[in-house]
């Protein structure tokens, strides 16, 4: 902890503030979101399809508007978009707690998604700008704060939801209101300072065409999309496997929670050390390849366990239900630790330090679409595996995805496609 504190203090004040901001953003978000579906179906009595609609609108709005959010950040500066996102999420979370009609809930869900699309690219572009040559280390520490918010948020939300879900919504809204006020007062005004950061002279479509013409960037985004599909299985395939083997009782709930504890605590304790080791010994492209390869290998314990018979009852039944999924969750976290700081740095390098927020926005959109499609295919593989009695099928498919993505990144690295163009000096 002292090492983390020393590293935190070693960064610029604005960078430190952005890290605390991200912790608070995740704290407020995960305080509420894990319990929203239960509130909509149980508390408000909505049908299953309407619950899916409300949740889907948030995800679709956020993923679909990332490019717009990044573009606006490059045109008007990073701070206004961060503040606007915090204030919009304040309104959205408050409305989720106070609304009961479907149109109001859909509007509130869309507002929370749009908020994420506004501040997400802006925060990352701001961090990359102010961290300068130390941005790999800054993104490593940023991921620690990011995971800490994910770890703590559901625990706070559980305590608040035990009182009343409306209380959870209003407290989460209050968190974002305070965060917005802190940004207004304390966050310095920043915008990209590359030679192309004069968007008033160019149209948005011209700006987008320039980003879409960046072939190495698009290839990198496509190769990395699979890593997001793999890491998302902490929320999809691993909990489903735990419940398939361990049941839906309190034991299954505790085992599912263990997945997030292993993932979050592993990142908090190891991220900066893993990044420092990689930075001192291997090239950034090699770290990316290794990270994605580890993510693919994360499903090997589940693949091996699928070949063993599942005990019918007793304490031994929990061994395959807890051990392989928990090990997979840790390996997914380790793979993310290896790749994430260099991934964020590579986006900046491939942008040539030009329109960085727009590049982050498009990158998030591409990966978000990939996650949606990947989850649909993973869900289909899980259903097919159960119907055909082929328990190994989804784990084989996910391992293969990791191999394909790692080989794609290796080819880009060997072809020097990840180095990016030399930044054009400002005139």
If asked whether residues 244 and 142 sit together in one domain, one would say no
Strands (E), 241-289: none
Domain boundary among 163, 191, 219: 191
In a domain, 424, yes or no: no
Indicate the residue among 139, 169, 191 that finishes a domain.
191
pLDDT band for 193, please (50, 70, 90 cuts): low
Q: Quick one: 316 and 174 in the same domain?
A: no
Are 155 and 252 contained in the same domain? no
Q: What is the per-residue DSSP string for 372-421?
A: HHHHHHHHHHHHHHHHHT-TTHHHHHHHHHHHHHHHHHHHHHHTT-SS-P
End-to-end CA distance of the chain: 44
Task: Calculate the average pLDDT of the chain.
Answer: 87
Q: Is residue 426 part of a domain?
A: no
Say yes or no: 296 and 176 in one domain: no
- The reply to whether 179 and 229 lie within a common domain is no
- Name residues whose C-beta falls within 8 Å of residue 42's C-beta, 6 or more positions apart in sequence: none
pLDDT, residue 99, reads: 86
> Rounded mean pLDDT of 375-398?
85
pLDDT in tens, 318-337: 666 688 999 999 999 999 99
Residue 253 has pLDDT above 60, yes or no: yes
155 & 41 share domain: yes
If asked whether residues 86 and 39 sit together in one domain, one would say yes
Could you tell me the residue range of the domain that residue 253 belongs to?
A: 201-412
Confidence of residue 236 (pLDDT cuts 50, 70, 90): confident
Structure confidence at residue 345 (pLDDT) = 95
> Is the residue at 419 inside a domain?
no
| 236 and 380 belong to one structural domain | yes
Which of 240, 230, 227, 222 shows the shortest CA–CA distance to 325? 240
pLDDT at 422 over 60: no
What pLDDT band is residue 311 in, cutting at 50, 70 and 90? low
Q: How far is CA 12 from the centre of its chain?
A: 24
Is 382 inside a domain boundary?
A: yes
- Please state the domain count of the chain: 2
Mean pLDDT for 268-295 is: 94
Residues 395, 255 share a domain: yes
Task: Select from 130, 159, 191 the last residue of a domain.
Answer: 191
Residue 358: give its domain's CATH number. 1.20.1250.20
Q: Same structural domain for residues 299 and 334?
A: yes
């Amino acid at each position: 902890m002292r090492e983390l504190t020393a590293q935190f203090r070693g960064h610029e004040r604005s960078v430190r503030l952005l890290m605390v901001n991200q912790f608070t953003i995740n704290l407020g978000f995960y305080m509420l979101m894990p319990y929203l579906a239960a509130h909509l179906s149980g508390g408000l009595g909505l049908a299953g399809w309407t619950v899916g609609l409300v949740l889907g609108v948030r995800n679709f709005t956020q993923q679909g508007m990332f490019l717009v959010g990044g573009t606006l950040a490059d045109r008007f500066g990073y701070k206004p978009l961060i503040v606007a996102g915090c204030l919009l999420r304040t309104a959205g979370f408050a409305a989720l707690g106070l609304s009961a009609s479907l149109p109001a809930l859909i509007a509130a869900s869309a507002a929370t998604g749009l908020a994420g699309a506004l501040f997400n690219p802006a925060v990352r572009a701001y961090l990359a700008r102010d961290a300068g040559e130390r941005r790999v280390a800054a993104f490593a520490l940023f991921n620690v704060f990011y995971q800490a918010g994910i770890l703590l948020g559901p625990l706070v939300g559980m305590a608040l939801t035990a009182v009343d879900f409306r209380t959870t919504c209003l407290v989460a809204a209050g968190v974002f209101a305070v965060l917005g006020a802190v940004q207004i007062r304390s966050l310095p005004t920043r915008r990209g300072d590359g030679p192309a950061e004069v968007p008033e002279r160019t149209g948005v479509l011209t700006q987008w065409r320039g980003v879409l013409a960046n072939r190495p960037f698009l290839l990198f985004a496509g190769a990395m999309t699979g890593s997001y599909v793999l890491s998302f299985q902490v929320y999809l395939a691993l909990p489903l496997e735990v419940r398939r083997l361990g049941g839906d009782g309190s034991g299954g709930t505790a085992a599912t929670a263990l997945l997030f504890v292993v993932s979050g605590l592993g990142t908090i304790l190891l991220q900066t050390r893993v990044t420092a080791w990689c930075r001192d010994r291997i090239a950034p492209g090699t770290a990316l390849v290794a990270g994605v390869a580890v993510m693919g290998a994360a499903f090997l314990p589940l693949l091996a366990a699928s070949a063993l018979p599942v005990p019918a009852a007793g304490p031994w039944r929990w061994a395959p239900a807890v051990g392989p999924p928990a090990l997979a969750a840790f390996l997914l976290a380790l793979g993310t630790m290896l790749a994430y700081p260099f991934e964020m740095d590579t986006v900046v390098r491939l942008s040539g330090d030009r329109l960085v927020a727009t590049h982050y926005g498009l990158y998030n959109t591409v990966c978000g679409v990939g996650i949606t499609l990947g989850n649909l295919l993973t869900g289909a593989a899980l259903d097919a595996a159960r119907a055909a009695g082929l328990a190994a099928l989804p784990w084989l498919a996910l391992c293969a995805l990791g191999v394909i993505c790692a080989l794609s990144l290796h080819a880009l690295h060997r072809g020097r496609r990840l180095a990016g163009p030399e930044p054009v000096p400002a005139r």
